[in-house]
Amino acid sequence: MRRYFARKLLIYALTFVAAVTVNWMIPRFMPGDPVAAMVARARVSQPEAAEAMRSYYNNLFGFDEPLWQQYLHFWGALLQGDFGISIFVFPTPVGDVLLDALPYTLGLMIPSVLLSWFVGNWIGALSARRKVLDNTVLPVGYLLTAMPYMWIAVILAWAFGANAGWFPISGGYSLDITPGWSTAFVLDALHHWVLPFLSLFLVALGGWAIGMRNMIIYELESDYSSYLAALGAPQRLIRRYAFRNAVLPQVTGLALQLGVLVAGALVTEIVFAYPGLGSLILASIQNQDFFLLQGAFLFIVIGVLIANFLIDIVYVVVDPRTRTGMAGGTS
């Protein structure tokens, strides 16, 4: 068991290094020059002054060093928790900008991912082998899962925001409230949270329900189900076993889907101008803000890795077959 987790941790560490390296490379090899943009924004007319600014910024951000040195410095700073200084909201440190945005993204992601998974599995399991329910769940599920995130977001914003006026369609909170732990702010934030949450929840829900329905049917056709039925076991017991075993691939699916779900959340945030990581990423790309982009990607990478690791642990707990594999097996 210990060896298994040690090996897993090593794999995660390697993934982390590779992901961070790619993160570092992407903005740097992107076309465009952020310093030039900053200088242009300052509207300096004299060439000497512009040159001075350019060399000041290049030095400040470390762009005058050779690439390999920038890379090493980047790692050194990273390990001290220093993500650099944002170019877009200069001179706020990237870490602070990200920490402000993180609660919004997590508050959107975690409930929508978990709730859609649980509710989807439940609906899927219920609909398997029940004609009427199946005939509604299947088409609705396909419809939901085929919808692009931003499209359903726009539809929801139009229907419940613009038309019905029940929910605000942009922002994470009203502009006339200062963020804090007051009841008024929490309620206001919840109000703003509903539509982005719903759009993430609904799209994922369809996929989980269809997956679970298919898995349950597969399990109900399996040999152990027929054996139990031949021995006259009630449907209740057979379905319980089938559900338990059908959940296993769904757990794996959750691990595989996390990346996609994160991407969906980012797009949804942009549609609703929700102040999370997604909106920050968009802003940092538009402003060629290397450091902010790197930092945001880094947070996402860390989040996905942690979530995957948790799922690995859960899987070991729920599937005895993985445990015997670790112990070397006895058969």
Residue 265: both structure tokens together: 């959340």
**Which helix (DSSP H) or strand (DSSP E) does residue 129 occupy?**
none
DSSP state of 275: T
Least Å distance between CB 312 and another protein? 17
Least Å distance between CB 248 and another protein? 8
Least Å distance between CB 134 and another protein? 15
By beta-carbon proximity to another protein, the closer residue of 92 and 324 is 324
First to last CA, the chain: 18
Least Å distance between CB 81 and another protein? 42
Q: Give the footprint of another protein on this chain (CB under 8 A).
A: 222-224, 226-234, 236-237, 241, 244-245, 248, 318-321, 324, 329-331
**For residue 18, how many other CB atoms are within 10 A of its CB?**
11
By beta-carbon proximity to another protein, the closer residue of 144 and 220 is 220
- What interhelical angle do 2-29 and 67-79 show, nearest 10? 130
By beta-carbon proximity to another protein, the closer residue of 3 and 236 is 236
By beta-carbon proximity to another protein, the closer residue of 286 and 330 is 330
Q: Measuring CA to CA, which residue among 188, 108, 99, 118 is closest to residue 149?
A: 108
Least Å distance between CB 311 and another protein? 17
Least Å distance between CB 255 and another protein? 18
Least Å distance between CB 112 and another protein? 28
Q: Output the DSSP codes for 14-46.
A: HHHHHHHHHHHHHHHHSSS-HHHHHHHHHT--S
How far apart are alpha carbons 88 and 291 in whole angstroms?
A: 9
Least Å distance between CB 135 and another protein? 18
By beta-carbon proximity to another protein, the closer residue of 58 and 322 is 322
By beta-carbon proximity to another protein, the closer residue of 169 and 247 is 247
**Measured CA distances, 267 to 148, 191, 229, 251, 294 (Å):** 10, 19, 47, 24, 18
- Please name the amino acid found at residue 11: I
By beta-carbon proximity to another protein, the closer residue of 78 and 229 is 229
By beta-carbon proximity to another protein, the closer residue of 92 and 226 is 226
Q: Is 304 exposed, middle or buried (0-12, 13-18, 19+ CB in 10 A)?
A: middle
Strand partners, 85: 93
Please state whether 273 falls in left (phi above 0), alpha (psi between -120 and 50) or beta.
left
Q: Which residues of 231-261 are buried (b: 16+ CB within 10 A; e: fewer)?
A: eeeeeeebbebbbebbbbbbbebbbebbeeb
